[in-house]
Structure formats: structure tokens, C-alpha cells
Structure 1
Amino acid sequence: MTTVDLHRLTGAYALDALPDEESAAFERHLAGCGSCAQETAELRATAARLGLAVTTAPSPRLREQVLHRVTTVRQETPGTPAEALTVRLGRRTRLLSRWALTACLATAVTLGGAALWQHRQAEDARARADRAARATDDIAAVLAAPDARTRAAGLPDGATGTVVVSRSRDRAVFVVSGMADPPGGRVYQLWFADGGTVRPAGLMDPGRSDQAVLLRGAVDGASGMGITVEPAGGSEQPTSALLALMDLPA
């Protein structure tokens, strides 16, 4: 049985690079993890686009069109003085060269734009994977810190939440289980409570009922944390009543 963190196998699974045992375990994990399923789909799409970029070649019609235009340029015109023939052939050659150059440039721009878009898609996917990996490492560091302290509380609809604080790292993690889905177009937002004010501390994944969230920013002088329901993307200040307010462990 694998002991690998399944959340970190999305890239290897998307590239069919997992051993059979880990692949089977990850597929079972995908059935209940919406964020991993989405990331895997995005990585597979990116890999497919990169593969297509390698095989992309200029259209065969471009070569056929150039060769066809060459055959339509008369090499000699009976009765035409040599000087006039030279001028006409020169003009036609320049026109043909300009047409061919324009066609080549248009093809290069098209292919270059597609390659640039594919490169940006791959870079975005890599950046998301890097951020997810860093967040996972930071969560593990807080949970494993020697000075980690916890505080648990009941949440609405039977959910449970635990906040873990490491003062030495000045970070906090919120672990929740059984959280109901937020209303459509809304998201659960976390807040640090500093005396009589609050400051944003991150968003929960609306598609997961069980998750661990690294609270954004330092714990600093915060005495508690709260949860509200906010519009997708979050708010700078709460726009709804607190669903829960938990004291941070000393």
C-alpha cells in the first residue's frame, strides 16, 4: 500500500508515469477529490497541447501555392525587347517574392502565437502545481512544529473545525471536516480576528467538505479566527454574519 501523499501525484498521473499500485490508489482518491480531478484534467490538457505543438508543421498548401505561382510567371515573352523583358520579370519576381514572404510571415506568426499560448498554459499549470506543493509543505510544517497548539470547535450543520497554530513559525492551519457546500456562486472565507477588527486569511475550496487550509499571512497579534460566506473570489471585509468564531490556542 502506498504511503505517498496522493494530492501530489496529479502531474505524474496525468503523464501516465505512476506504477500500477500508485495509479490505482490515485484513481480511487480522484473519485472523492474534486480539486485533484480538476488539476489532473488541466495537466492532461496541457500535455496534449504541448504534444501537438511539437508535431505542428506549416500547411502543405503553402508550398503548393508558391510552386503554382512560379509556373504562372512566363520566362520569355516573344518579341519583347530584352530591357523591357528584364523590367517585367524583375517586377513579377519582386511581386512573387513579396507574396511568398507575406505568406511565410503569416504562417510564422500563426504558429508562433499558438506556441506562445501553449507555453503560457504550461507555465500557468506549472505555477499552480508549485503553489500547491509549497502550500502542502507549509501545512505539514505547521502541523509538525514542536510548538504546534490546537483548538477544536463545532461548526454549523454538524461540521467540525480545528485550528492549529505554531507561534515559532507565526502561521496557522485550519482543518475542517464535514463542511456543507456553500450556496452557488459563494465561498467560505476565513478571517483573523485582531481585537475589534478582522483581516482576510484565505478562502476554502468550495468543492471539498474535508480540507486543510493554510491561513494567509502571519498570526501576529490575532486572538481568534472566523468564517463567513462571501462572493466568489472573497471580500476585503465581511459582507455576512460570522458562521463561527474560534479563539486561537495560546
Structure 2
Amino acid sequence: MSTADPHLLTGAYALHALPDDERTDFERHLSGCESCAVEVAEFTATAARLASAASEPVRAALRGEVLRRVTGVRQVAPGKAAPAQARRSVPRGRGPARWALAACVAAAAVFGGTAVWQYERAQDARQQAALAERHADQVAGVLGAPDAATRSARMAGGTGTLVVSAGRDRAVFVASGMAAPPEGKVYQLWFADGGRMRPAGLLGTGRAGQTVLMRGRVDGASGVGVTVEPAGGSRQPTTKPLGLLSVPARPSHVS
């Protein structure tokens, strides 16, 4: 197949738009894939409905008119072009054929759009997976760093733990057993830089335990605070901190 994912070919298969080799490979896949079989059946039914909706009934007198015209059409010998007059006599863009063609074009547009949507959805999923993997690697790098140092404090009915790697200049916040914030609110993390508070990320709602890579570099911050803020966070704290954690000093044995 020309694509690595046969699940994206259901629309093209239903429209008979696959080359012979791809059609053969897809039919082999189709025999063992229930979800693709359902999609092909739905696409085929949709194409039939589109064609039916775009068709118009044939006039009862049309058959007689066609037969009368056939008797007056001059036959062309093999290898000779049809007379110009005969070519001009064939009307273009009229009658049921035009509507059938329009229905096919509409169906192709529908299935093409579905295939594009499926492809974009798969791309989004891959990008999200890559971001999640990179985030996990960064968290693991801080937690497992030789110079990792911690501070813990009780807050919101649970425990908040700050892990800092001076060498990586990054920090991780680990929440354990913390109560859910009030409805429409979130827990927000802050770096304390002298007399100002710098936003450092949000804790997810509905999870008592979580590990968050704090946003931005530690960059000489003296402490970390946690406040309750409106959903989406704030530029500056709007409530008193639930807890304050001093940034641990770099261990003396780590060079």
C-alpha cells in the first residue's frame, strides 16, 4: 500500500478509487478488521443515498425519443472519427448523467474530507504522544538527577513535594493526597523571585496525586508557592499561598 495505515483507505475503497494492488492488499486487511468493514458499509450506503438524492426521474417518453434518434444516427466505420455534426448533436451537461456525476463528485468530497480528518486526527495523536514522552523524559531527568534535592510540606489535606536539579535548572512538583480545588478553580504553582511571583504551571483537576514539570527555569528562585486560582490560572496570585517551599540548596557532594 502507498500508506502505512490501511484504516485511512475505507472511503477510497468504497468509491472504487484504489489501484488494483492496493485494493487487493486492503481487502486482505478488511477480512480481519471489523471497524474497517463497518466503515466501508457505511460509506457505500452513504454514496448510494447521495446518488439517489441527486437523481431525477426519467420522463416516460424518453425511451421512445432515444429509439427514434438511434434510427437516424449514421454508423461510423472502425478507425474513422465521428462527423462533427454527430459530435455536436450530443448535448453536454444535461439529463440524469449530470446528476449522477454530481453525486459521485459529492461523495468523493465527503469521503476525501473524512480521510483527511482521519489523517489529521492520527497526526494529532502522534504529536500528543511525542509531547507526553518528552515531558516524561524531562520529569525523569529531574527526579533521577545526581544533584536532585527535595522539600516537602503539608497542604490542602495532602503533601506537596518540590524536587530541584540545579544542574538541569529545572524543578518538579509532586502532589500527593491533595483535595480537589473548589469548582471552577485550579491549583497554580509559582516561583518566588525576590519580591515577585512567577507563574510556573497548573496542577490538573480531579487527581489527588500527580507529578508536574514546573514551567520555566528555576533561575535563582528562592521558593515555590501554591495558590488557588480561577480556571486557566492567573498572571499574579489572587489568594494567599496554601503552602511555601524553599528551593533546596545544591548538595555539597555534587560537583
Question: Fold conserved (TM > 0.5)?
Answer: yes
Q: Which residue does the alignment assign to 2:137?
A: 137
* In 2: Cα distance, 1:108 partner to 1:246 partner: 60
Q: What does residue range 19-30 of structure 1 map to in structure 2 within 5 Å?
A: none
TM-aligned CA distance change 1:135 to 1:64, over 3 Å: same
Does structure 1 residue 123 correspond to structure 2 residue 109?
no
Q: 1:66 to 1:212 in 2, by over 3 A?
A: closer
- Inter-partner Cα distance in structure 2 for 1:205 and 1:64: 50
Identity of aligned residues (%): 52
- Structure with a larger share of its residues in helix: 1
Residues 133-172 of structure 1: matches in 2 within 5 Å?
133-157=133-157, 159-172=158-171
Instruction: Give the match for residue 186 of structure 1.
Output: 185
Does the alignment pair 1:220 with 2:219? yes
| Structure-1 residue corresponding to 2:67 | 76
Question: Unpaired segments of 5 or more residues in structure 1?
Answer: 1-47
Q: 1:243 is matched with which residue?
A: 242
Partner secondary structure for residue 77 of structure 1: helix
Taking a change above 3 Å as real, the CA distance of residues 181 and 79 of structure 1, as seen in their structure-2 partners, is closer
**Is 176-185 or 114-123 further displaced after alignment?**
114-123
Q: Which has the larger radius of gyration?
A: 2
| DSSP 3-state at the match of 1:57 | helix
1:104 counterpart residue number: 104
Q: 1:57 corresponds to which residue?
A: 43
> 1:140 Cα deviation (Å)?
1.0
What's the CA shift string for 1:194-244, capped at 9, x where partnerless? 111111111111111111111011111211111111222222222322222
Structure 1 Cα separation of the partners of residues 35 and 243 of structure 2: 44
Q: Distance in 1 between matches of 2:186 and 2:36?
A: 33
Q: Helix, strand or coil: the match of 1:184?
A: coil
Output the CA distance in 1 between the equivalents of 2:154 and 2:243: 9
Superposition RMSD in Å: 3.5
Q: Hey, what's the Cα distance between the residues in 2 that align with 1:221 and 1:49? A: 54
- Distance 1:61-1:71 versus aligned 2 partners, 3 A rule: farther
Q: Structure 1 residues 249, 65: CA separation in 2 closer, same or farther (over 3 Å shift)?
A: closer
Q: Residue by residue, what CA displacement relative to the aligned partner does 1:152-177 show, whole Å, maximum 9, x if unpaired? A: 112132x1111010011111011121
The 2-side partners of 1:57 and 1:122 are apart by 20
CA distance in 2, matches of 1:67, 1:156: 66
Q: Deviations over 1:66-120 (max 9, x none)?
A: 998789754233699769x969962266444432332122111111222222333
How far apart are the structure 1 equivalents of 2:37 and 2:218?
A: 45
Hey, what's the Cα distance between the residues in 1 that align with 2:88 and 2:52? Answer: 24
- Name the structure 2 match of 1:198: 197
Q: Residues of 2 paired with 1:199 and 1:92: CA distance?
A: 70
- The letter for the 1-side match of 2:48 is P
Q: Do the aligned partners of 1:49 and 1:118 also contact (CA within 8 Å) in 2?
A: no
Q: Which is further off, 70-79 or 189-198?
A: 70-79
Native 8 Å contact 1:53 1:118 kept in 2: no
Report if aligned partners of 1:177, 1:209 keep a CA contact under 8 Å in 2. yes
Q: Which amino acid aligns with 1:211?
A: Q
- Relative to the length of structure 2, the TM-score reads 0.66
Report the AA paired with residue 76 of structure 1.
Answer: L
Structure-1 residue corresponding to 2:78: none
Separation of aligned partners in 1, 2:99 and 2:171: 64
